[in-house]
Structure 1
Amino acid sequence: MNKVLLFNPRSARTKPRIPNSILSVAAVIEGFYEYAIVDGNLETDPWTKINSYLATGEFKFFGCTCMPGPQLRQAIPISKQIREQYPEVRIIWGGYFPSNQPKVVLHSGFVDFIVNGPGEKCFPALLKALETGDNWTTIPNLIYKGEQGIVKTGKDELYDQDALPSLPYETLNNFYPLKRYLGKTYLGTRTIAYHSSMGCPFKCSFCAVVPIYNARWRGKSAQLIYEDIKYLKDQHGGNAIEFHDNNFFVSEKRTVEFSKLIQPENMIWWGEGRIDTIDKYSDKSLEIMRESGCKMIFFGAETGNDEILAKMDKGGTQSSAQIRAFAGRMAKFDIIPEYSFVLGTPADTPEQVMKQIDQDIAFIKEIKSINPKTEIIIYLYSPVPTEGSDLYKKVLESGFHFPEKLEDWISPHWENFDLRKNPLTPWLTPEMIDKIKDFETVLNSYYPTVSDIRLSAFKRGIMRSLSAVRYKTGLYWKPYELKVLQLLWKYRQPEIEGF
């Protein structure tokens, strides 16, 4: 038999989320191929489970989703072991990492194909071609190694999300109790992870989504989103929602319609959006969103420097003035803006890099003075291979390059690179990195994230008191006393661990 084994590598130490990427391809092969799901987040030793399936000789295809960072730690060695022990099994990867790094993945010798973007049509078409011996070179959204090198087939349209089959939640429940995916978070005691759209209509030069979707977006209707959420609430007890879309709020009409539908369910929800998009929403729309349970929204503020914002090619109209004003506007509606900043972008001289870091630190403090409830997330600039962008050209000129061997991506420093915590970039000196991280420690102590539900009011008070002088005077250097407390109390950073 030609069964399919679908693998979701571990992505977090705690609080596993519903594996939506695996379920999306499972949905389109349901009824055509028998399949099994292995989730590395819920297995102590996923290889043992995977090996038990492959040893039956019934599984001919291995599909693995792979984001940059922690998922590589399981995806790479397990795929390599499959190739060594079961060479007849075809190994297919999908996700942001292989789509953005196809050469290093395919040259490894243990990945046969990459699904480049949405796999709802590509994946089953590829399975059929491999089964029948048909030509796969015309299948869209596919990357493979040909006689002349790496081959990328054409991009397919973004599919009508309402026309796609529903995710097979009950099939997943047969492999792993779905209630194990509905964890306790800042939003609720049983939080649903949901994906309602594909892509993003903007072309930020630092974003891994851009090379895959090329400024395209398509969303599921508000009615179908509501029906899915309602099902997960009624059948499995979900009481809060994390929307993991790259940009949930593209359509004000869709957002408002969903907000009206979900309001009677009394569910708290969170999503990702753009400042310049939601700032165009009417006050009435924002009121409806908040009344429906929208408690926090993640925004890429990036920097307070308008020149760098232009280089980032975010599109739209976002500016430092708008970032400031929008933080104040969100306070009026009691919606917490979660601003992420990217510090350490490349510049012509080290002095310019350091100056920009200092300016962004000052800008972050200004935002907190405007709206103290604003959540701040700090990333170190990590290059994304967006060809043609000014930022990436400057990155290449600096001598930076990605690993040339797939296994090198799971070394500790490169794994942290993918989490934007260890940049490995030539233009950032140890002094610059220390300044950013020391400020982050002081900031997180003076304004601890509300999303750390384990941190008591007493602990928050101690951290704020101990960090007050440092925060107010700018003495961020070597805050060892604060680092000890954060380590002792296992301070949670949402940019690494989620809520």
Structure 2
Amino acid sequence: MNKVLLFNPKSAEKKYRIPNSILNIAASVDGKYNWAIIDGNCEANPIQKIESYLNTGEYKYLGFTVMPGPQLRQAIIAAKIVKERFPHTKMIWGGYFPSNHSDSVLYSGYVDFIINGPGDHAFPLLIDALENDQPFEFIKNLIYKDSRDGKIFKTAKEDLIDQDSLPPLPYDKLNNFYNLTKFLGKTYLGQKTMAYHSSIGCPFTCSFCAVVPIYEARWKAKSAQNVYKDVKYIKDKWGADSIEFHDNNFFVSEKRAVEFSRLIAPENMTWWGMARIDTMSKFKDSSLQAIRDAGCKCIFFGAESGNNAILEQMDKGGTQTGDQIIEFAERLKKFDIIPEYSFVLGTPAPTPEQVQAQIDFEIDFIKQVKAVNPKTEIIIYTYSPVPTPGSELYKQVLESGFKFPQTLEDWISPAWENFDLRKNPLTPWLTPEMIDKIRNFETVLNGVYPTVTDIRMSELKKRTIRLLSGIRYRANLYQYPYEIKLLQRFWKYRQPEIQGF
């Protein structure tokens, strides 16, 4: 009775992705402990599936990966049921949500341990300690509740691991549980798009980002050669024709990005990744051309704001400015790389008038970006706080009266369920009228410039929406865009920030 069951809660409606995070944990115990994976995206009743494994009496450890947002509901419901019916099961959570909200998770009584960051070493060491009744207090990257006084205890952070030293992900064993082609979905990138993580962390300290408290401005990457080897294996064995790199920051190293591009170019795959504008703006033209020639079709950038004061408030770091955001969007036109810019509207300010002025500034700035490069994809989020201790922005958030939910059940209440999608921020400094203005502008903007990632919408439908939205856009009339919303709903317009590609 020492097998390990690993659970990836549901995060998507139809387009599944290779469960890389939980597969990393499987790799960490592979060959030492028997393991099984349950993917909530692929199961009609994943809780029943979990119970079927636990009923055998062979599985003592249950690991969850939990991101904020869609995964949270299924994770909480499953954890509660498992703890009630199988109280001796050791439940271990990892991922951004438990790492950033450890008190809510551990005081729930459902979860025994949290892996605080990478679990490649921490998870197997914890299983070893529990199996052999040995101390676990000195295992790095752990959070747990002390059995003596009930206080939450965090162990020291481990240095980031050399990614090339880690064992390969057990794709073939995953295929024994779910046909791996199920995870290769059709997207605007290709017919069989694979998800891949080539690095962990990010070397910046943006105070609105959930990555910062976990990785503390550190970044480690696999070599270009090993990334290429993994991608080619999945291409050759299961037919992948495109790649989504889910790294927090794929393009930290120009040399690595170019080397990978030259390796992957002969494979004729299209791909997408995430970057910083101030990092990539320093890339040579020859590097950007090599990246495009290798099939890179679109790059996601956290633009956040065109207002330099807001960038400073967000601790954006680096050298990014509003002027640079516009200049780089224009520069990418000649390489035919689509810049996908995300903006965060509604950061705290001393007065409602200042908050509203900031929103109006960003709306005007987004229109300036579109003017220089109409192909720029725009993703709009409403600011929602991230617990980044010590940051000035987080202090402002707390002073405004904002509070996170205190219990796990509160996190899946109707008011909080979409919190991390930044659609319902519950932030005291934002009025309903401000939220409406942001959402209405987004509706009009998406009407004039429908996303290229929506592969279902025909050109005729796009032209129709553009015609209706163009008058509003040019005249700055964003209120009550019901006619656009009706068409978007009827034609099931796809929003990348919620639904991905």
TM-score (norm 2): 0.99
State how far apart, in whole Å, the 2-side matches of 1:124 and 1:243 are. 26
- The Cα shift of 1:48 comes to 1.1
State how far apart, in whole Å, the 2-side matches of 1:463 and 1:242 are. 29
RMSD: 0.6
Select the residue among 223, 243, 246 that pairs with 1:244.
246
Match of 1:168 in 2: 170
Match of 2:366 in 1: 364
SS at match of 1:158: coil
Match of 1:328 in 2: 330
State how far apart, in whole Å, the 1-side matches of 2:324 and 2:369 are. 11
State how far apart, in whole Å, the 2-side matches of 1:193 and 1:319 are. 31
Q: Which shows bigger deviation, 143-152 or 119-128?
A: 143-152
Match of 1:416 in 2: 418
Give, as a single letter, the amino acid of the residue that structure 2 aligns with 1:249.
F
SS at match of 2:379: strand
State how far apart, in whole Å, the 2-side matches of 1:404 and 1:180 are. 37
Match of 2:269 in 1: 267
State how far apart, in whole Å, the 2-side matches of 1:269 and 1:412 are. 36
Residues 176-230 of structure 1 show CA distances to partners (whole Å, capped at 9, x for unaligned) of: 0000000000100000100000100000000000000000000000000000000
SS at match of 2:93: strand
Match of 1:17 in 2: 17
Counting matched residue pairs gives: 499
Residues 84-107 of structure 1 show CA distances to partners (whole Å, capped at 9, x for unaligned) of: 000010000000000000000000
Give, as a single letter, the amino acid of the residue that structure 1 aligns with 2:429.
W
State how far apart, in whole Å, the 2-side matches of 1:373 and 1:468 are. 16
Select the residue among 352, 355, 362 that pairs with 2:354.
352
Residues 365-413 of structure 1 show CA distances to partners (whole Å, capped at 9, x for unaligned) of: 0000000000000000000000111111110011000001111111232
- The Cα shift of 1:480 comes to 0.4
Select the residue among 206, 226, 234 that pairs with 1:224.
226
SS at match of 2:181: helix
**Superposed counterparts of 1:75-224, under 5 Å:** 75-146=75-146, 147-148=148-149, 149-224=151-226
Give, as a single letter, the amino acid of the residue that structure 1 aligns with 2:45.
D
Match of 1:435 in 2: 437
State how far apart, in whole Å, the 2-side matches of 1:315 and 1:415 are. 30
Give, as a single letter, the amino acid of the residue that structure 2 aligns with 1:410.
I
TM-score (norm 1): 1.00
Residues 435-466 of structure 1 show CA distances to partners (whole Å, capped at 9, x for unaligned) of: 00000000001000000000000000000000
State how far apart, in whole Å, the 2-side matches of 1:13 and 1:471 are. 32
Match of 1:74 in 2: 74
- The Cα shift of 1:360 comes to 0.2
State how far apart, in whole Å, the 2-side matches of 1:263 and 1:284 are. 15
State how far apart, in whole Å, the 1-side matches of 2:482 and 2:393 are. 34
State how far apart, in whole Å, the 1-side matches of 2:97 and 2:306 are. 29
Runs of at least 5 residues in structure 2 that lack an aligned partner in the other structure: none
State how far apart, in whole Å, the 2-side matches of 1:130 and 1:81 are. 23
Match of 1:497 in 2: 499
Give, as a single letter, the amino acid of the residue that structure 1 aligns with 2:33.
Y
State how far apart, in whole Å, the 1-side matches of 2:284 and 2:143 are. 43
SS at match of 2:416: helix
Q: Which shows bigger deviation, 73-82 or 408-417?
A: 408-417
State how far apart, in whole Å, the 1-side matches of 2:417 and 2:251 are. 30
- The Cα shift of 1:416 comes to 1.2
State how far apart, in whole Å, the 1-side matches of 2:235 and 2:416 are. 39
State how far apart, in whole Å, the 2-side matches of 1:372 and 1:276 are. 21
Runs of 4+ residues deviating >4 angstroms? none
**Superposed counterparts of 1:449-464, under 5 Å:** 449-464=451-466
State how far apart, in whole Å, the 2-side matches of 1:35 and 1:370 are. 52
